[in-house]
Amino acid sequence: MSIPASLTQARAAATSALSNPAFQDSPFANMSTKEFNVTAYTLNSSQRGCYRVGALPIALGTNDTCALGFHCPKSSNEFPPQYCHPTEECAVMRASRRTCDPQGTLEPKVCANGFYCPPGGKQQLPCPKGTFCPSGSFEPFNCTYAAICPAKSVRQLNVLPLYLTVIIDLTFVFVVIIIFCVQRRRRNRSAKSTTPVPEERSQTILLQTPGSPGTATPGRTQSPSISSAGSSDSSRPPSTNPSTNPRRANARVDHYDGYADDDNVSTLYDEDVENELQNSPNMQRFIRSMSKAVETSCIGLSFDFENLSFCAKGGKKILTDITGTMPRGSCWGIMGGSGAGKSTFVNVLMGKTHATNGTIKINGHRQDMSKYKKLIGYVPQDDIVFPELTVRENILHSAHARLPQKWRDREIQEHVDSLIASLQLTHVQHSRVGDATRPVISGGQRKRVNIGMELAAAPMAIFLDEPTSGLDATSAASIMKLLRAISRLGVTTIAIVHQPRERIFQGFDQVLLLAEGRSVYSGPTEAVQTYFEGLGYAFPQKANPADALIDIITGDGAEYCMSATKCEQGEVGFLIEAWKAGSQYMKTQNKHLSLASTQSEKSRRISNQSLNSTAEQEEALRRTMKLRGASWLAQVYYCWKRAATQQLRNQVSFLFEIGVGGLAGMIIGLSAFASNGHLFQGLYHQPFTLLSSAIDYNSTPQIGLLGAMAIGLAASAPGFWVFGEEKLMYWRETASGHSRSAYYVGKLLSTFLRIALSSWHFTVFLGVLATPLISFQEMYAANLMYFWCIYGLASIVSMLVKREDGPLLAVLASLIIGVLGGVAPPLAKVKSWHMEWFWRLSPGVWFTEAYFSQNVLPMKYLYITDLAAKSTGYTLGQYGMDIAMLFSIGVVYRLIAYLGLILMNRDKQR
């Protein structure tokens, strides 16, 4: 038969009592066992013994020492506090972390919930109003301002943060409404003010030749100067007829170096452009402000490429031996069938994709294109815009970030105004751009925004990948005229076009035709028809020659072939071979055309002479580049402002994130609600350790674990989207010379508000429901820092994985670091594996430790907290260090993310 546990315990207690020095000094020390038992029975019925029959009291001291937080009403120096073996009921209560009534007359009791027992332990007083007294209090804890703490409170209901939350939320909503109204008013006002004023129409710009008033020394390389003819010509009525307009007669462009002549002849297309300029004050304003930005008067950018080839990774040849020259200020059209290699060619030429073979020269020197990225614009084939921003905001950001530093805001606004008007976007300038899933403006309008973002930066060379696709004929023609006009300023313009209309086709000085990644023609537009006719093709009289050309170069030109031996039924291979054989001849022809013709302005434009820049010209370019672009701080500000605007526009996800934060805090708070704020219980200090109930070292770390997981779930997906959603835009901007660090810092700053608000809501609800001993400020700081870490971690994930996989992986990563919080497996166990360093790399440990430390230390006077620390593995009393480490880990995560941003996909940032 087994011995009952209670008997065993009683024996153990008796043995312990006998060996207790306090007992040995007592009157019972010399008793025989029989006498002792009789005495024990006797004592049970006396006023100073144990209530349990047969239980032997154990003296807890030699005098009336009542530990802090205990109530010892009957003990005295003569009869010190005693411990009595508990009854089964009491044992059960203690084993379930509760306390039971004293088991003997002299047994102390821990001060009851809602009461405090001043030192000495003779009194147990009710906790006054405005304070709270958890079990074992020796003095009341003061409640914070406005907390709900009626008399006999066990915990404080800190509702002040809740009130503040309501105020913050209402203020936030109010501010959003105010901003919305102000923006709307401003939009309406600016919509009115952007209507062109009639007087502006009398302002006309002249594209002047060297030698005309206001230009530099004749005969020297000179960019077109643009001036207002307003003062001399304003008295004359504006004429739209080019032949009768005296200003048009004077309108001249100097494009190519050293070919100054006196002819006043314009091509048909230039007449169109001129007319457009005459009739569009906005375009005039834009061209004028472009000319101000493209300020190097003696140089632009010209490109020479020779035998340019590109093989894809598998060895597939995409481009083969493309050779040509794109002089400064020329307007090039690149045409070819789909998949002919047009985009690849532009990417290789711009250095975005490394050529497998061949050379590229800029201004006659072999140099890296990325050196000039501040001066080069690139309009990608796919629209890359910020859907949440308005048309104007998208274009304005580009202008702010990339125009010369010395431009004042007013000038930039005017530049953007005129550009928007030139792109015929004024009526939608305050509409959000939207995207394919939520279109707000049309696809064609989005295309124009895309172009506007590059033109706003006033580049010296611009590459456009299908700028007119998706546009109606009028819009496409208008864009083409704008491009043509800026090319007349000396801006080298290279546009890929798909089946252009005849007028657009004629707008190019030169065309490069590609088929199967090879040149089939590269030269003057006006000579292309003659060239193909020489190969045996006949162009229909009234049809668009560009259509016929596309048919021919895509191998579908048999119907145009007049000579079976020459055209070989439209084989593309024939065209390639023919161009290889004849390209030298064409070069000579071009030179001949440009040198021989002094009659035609167009013939000057088709010069194949590229510039071989001098050291002074290179210096001028360098100076211009230095002045280009906003300062780093200004870029940070613009990026921050843009990101903040994006977030405000995405109110739903912004509010959702904050709401999820609050909800997570509420759920975890509810799980701890029943504990009445009693989230830690240890062993009482000696000599009252025997009176201890079961320990509870887990509740607080569990709150930390749950909190870490909840924050991970709430913040990792939004944290991922900070960078994950707009990599294309980032690559585009970096390639155009934006500061990467400014972009990153701007984005980072924009997350502060949402991190602060989310963690605030999380903390408020957790605090109100769980009422832990850790103060609200300390809890908020820990939560804030953990949110900070999760956002940092999600940023790393966003650099590493595709957007589709990102949120899931970010959540997973945050769960992993949460689990590495030292709760399960316990940190103490981890220490025994010598793996603590690894756990300490995770913010979860520092976060949980901060919670544990601040919940335990207020009760240090009552419990053996060192034992709790040893048992759990956490270090107590280093809250400051915990928070500092959380902050540092967040910083390290961001540094890693930044490195990922700049080091991954480097080719796309060129």
Ligand X SMILES: Nc1ncnc2c1ncn2[C@@H]1O[C@H](COP(=O)(O)OP(=O)(O)OP(=O)(O)O)[C@@H](O)[C@H]1O
Distance of CA 898 to the CA centre of its chain: 11
Determine the Cα–Cα distance for residues 4 and 626; give it in Å rounded to an integer. 91
**Sheet arrangement for strand 357-362:** 317-326, 303-311, 357-362, 365-366
Looking only at residues 445 through 474 of this chain, which bind Mg ion when binding is defined by CB under 5 A? none
Which one of ligand X, Mg ion, none is in contact with 134 (Cβ closer than 5 to 8 A by kind)? none
336 binds, among Mg ion, ligand X, none (CB under 5 to 8 A by kind): ligand X
Judged by CB under 6 A, the residue of 43, 133, 154, 318 near ligand X is 318
The identity of residue 369, as a single letter, is M
Looking at the Cβ atoms of 342 and 446, the one nearer to ligand X is 342
Residue-wise over 568-586: b if at least 16 C-beta within 10 A, else e?
bebebebbbebbeeebeeb
Which window, 252-260, 376-384, 609-617, 619-627, contacts Mg ion (CB under 5 A)?
376-384
Residue 452 beta carbon to Mg ion: minimum distance, rounded to whole angstroms: 20
245: contact with Mg ion by CB under 5 A: no
Which positions ≥6 away from 331 have C-beta within 8 Å? 483, 484, 487, 493, 495, 507, 508, 509, 510, 605
Under the criterion CB under 6 A, does residue 341 sit at the interface with ligand X?
yes
Q: Which is nearer to ligand X, 334 or 691 (CB)?
A: 334
Q: Which does 841 bind (CB under 5 to 8 A by kind): ligand X, Mg ion, none?
A: none
- The DSSP 8-state label assigned to residue 50 in this structure reads B
Options 190-198, 338-346, 523-531, 704-712: segment touching ligand X (CB under 6 A): 338-346
Find the shortest distance in angstroms from Cβ 355 to Mg ion: 17
For Mg ion, the closer of residues 28 and 310 by Cβ is 310
In this complex, which beta carbon is closest to ligand X, that of residue 340 or of residue 901? 340
> Hey, what are 171's tokens?
């203020």
Q: Measured from the CB of residue 515, what is the shortest distance to ligand X in angstroms?
A: 10
Q: 3-state DSSP call for residue 626?
A: helix
Q: How far is the CB of 465 from Mg ion (least distance, A)?
A: 6
Smallest distance from the beta carbon of 547 to ligand X, in angstroms?
Answer: 16
State which residue, 149 or 497, has the beta carbon closest to ligand X.
Answer: 497
Task: Considering only the stretches 36-44, 148-156, 342-350, 579-587, report the one whose residues sit in contact with ligand X under the rule CB under 6 A.
Answer: 342-350
* CA distances for 760 relative to 162, 447, 514, 711, 787, angstroms: 10, 42, 60, 12, 10
Residue the block writes with tokens 């104007």: 392
DSSP state of 278: H
Strands 365-366 and 141-142: unpaired
**549 contacts ligand X (rule: CB under 6 A):** no
- The tokens describing 79, both together, are 């009869």
Taking the complex as a whole, how short is the minimal distance between the CB of residue 454 and ligand X, in angstroms? Answer: 18
> What would the x/- binding string for ligand X be over residues 374 to 393, using CB under 6 A?
-------x------------
Which range of residues in 102-110, 180-188, 338-346, 519-527 is near Mg ion by CB under 5 A?
338-346
User: 475: closest CA among 501, 494, 439?
Assistant: 501
Query: Which of the choices Mg ion, ligand X, none does residue 834 contact, using the CB cut-off of 5 to 8 A by kind?
Result: none
Report yes or no: 445 and 428 within 8 Å, Cβ to Cβ. yes
Q: Which is nearer to ligand X, 622 or 802 (CB)?
A: 802
Considering only the stretches 146-154, 331-339, 735-743, 791-799, report the one whose residues sit in contact with ligand X under the rule CB under 6 A. Answer: 331-339
Q: How far is the CB of 360 from ligand X (least distance, A)?
A: 17
Taking the complex as a whole, the smallest distance from the CB of residue 482 to Mg ion amounts, in Å, to 21
Of the candidate residues 338, 474, 541, 565, the single one contacting ligand X (CB under 6 A): 338
Q: Segment contacting ligand X (CB under 6 A): 193-201, 335-343, 811-819, 867-875? A: 335-343
What residue has token string 């033109």?
A: 455
The DSSP code sequence of 335-364 is EE-TTSSHHHHHHHHTTSS--SEEEEEETT
Q: Does 344 bind ligand X (CB under 6 A)?
A: yes
Asked if residue 309 lies in contact with residue 317, where contact means CB atoms within 8 angstroms, the answer is: yes
Instruction: Indicate whether 525 belongs to the interface with Mg ion (CB under 5 A).
Output: no
Among the listed residues 533, 515, 517, 448, the one whose alpha carbon sits nearest the alpha carbon of residue 483: 448
Q: Which of 124, 291, 330, 343 binds ligand X (CB under 6 A)?
A: 343
40 vs 497 by CB, closer to ligand X: 497
By the 8 A CB rule, do 540 and 364 touch? no
The answer to whether residue 312 forms part of the interface with ligand X (CB under 6 A) is yes
Counting every residue written for the chain, the total comes to 910
Q: Residue 729 Cβ, how far from Mg ion at the closest point, in Å?
A: 19
| Closer to ligand X by Cβ: residue 316 or 408 | 316
Min separation Cβ 512 and ligand X, Å = 12
Joined tokens for residue 805:
């996989």
Helices (H), ranges, 725-819: 727-735, 740-770, 776-800, 806-819
Stretch that binds Mg ion, among 53-61, 381-389, 391-399, 828-836 (CB under 5 A): 381-389
> Is 336 a binder of ligand X (CB under 6 A)?
yes
d(CA 816, CA 794): 13
Q: Which stretch binds Mg ion (CB under 5 A): 240-248, 342-350, 517-525, 712-720?
A: 342-350
SS3 content of the chain, % helix, strand, coil (to 5): 55, 10, 35
Interface residue with Mg ion, options 209, 222, 343, 492 (CB under 5 A): 343
Q: How far is the CB of 313 from ligand X (least distance, A)?
A: 6
Least separation in angstroms between residue 485's CB and ligand X is 26
Do 498 and 324 meet the contact criterion of CB atoms below 8 Å apart?
A: no
Instruction: Please report whether residue 342 would count as binding ligand X according to CB under 6 A.
Output: yes
CB of 338 to Mg ion, least distance (A): 8
Residue number with the smallest Cβ distance to Mg ion:
343
Q: Which does 341 bind (CB under 5 to 8 A by kind): Mg ion, ligand X, none?
A: ligand X
Distance CA 42, CA 53 (A): 9
Which residues does residue 70 pair with via DSSP β-bridges, in sequence order?
Answer: 110
Q: Which of 340, 360, 482, 735 is the binder for ligand X (CB under 6 A)?
A: 340
Q: What 8-state DSSP symbol labels residue 48?
A: S
Rounded to whole angstroms, the Cα distance separating 894 from 576 reads: 52
- Which of ligand X, Mg ion, none binds 352 (CB below 5-8 Å, type-dependent)? none
Question: Can residue 617 be called a binding residue for Mg ion (CB under 5 A)?
Answer: no
Q: How far apart are CA 243 and CA 246, in angstroms?
A: 8
499-527 burial code (b ≥16 CB/10 A, e <16): bbbebbbbbbbbbbbbbbbbbbbbbbbbb
Part in contact with ligand X (CB under 6 A); list of ranges 83-91, 310-318, 397-405, 789-797: 310-318
CA torsion through residues 291, 296, 298, 299, sign: negative
Nearest approach, Cβ of 318 to ligand X (angstroms)?
4
Give, as ranges, the residues between 488 and 517 that touch ligand X (CB under 6 A).
498
Cα distance between residue 315 and residue 874, in whole Å: 58
Residues that bind ligand X (rule: CB under 6 A) add up to a total of 13
Chain-centroid distance of CA 211 in Å reads 52
User: What minimum distance in Å lies between the beta carbon of 342 and Mg ion?
Assistant: 5
Q: Distance between CA 547 and CA 553 in Å, rounded?
A: 10
Region near ligand X per CB under 6 A, out of 208-216, 311-319, 521-529, 740-748: 311-319
Stretch that binds ligand X, among 17-25, 163-171, 337-345, 429-437 (CB under 6 A): 337-345
In b/e form, how buried is each residue of 801-823, taking b as 16+ CB within 10 angstroms? beeeebbebbbebbbebbbbbbb
In the block, tokens 């024996």 appear at 11
Q: Which helix (H) or strand (E) holds 721?
A: helix 699-724
d(CA 129, CA 151): 4
Choose the binding region for ligand X from 208-216, 280-288, 339-347, 749-757 (rule: CB under 6 A): 339-347
Residues that bind Mg ion (CB under 5 A): 343, 381
Residues that bind ligand X (CB under 6 A): 312, 316, 318, 336, 338-344, 381, 498
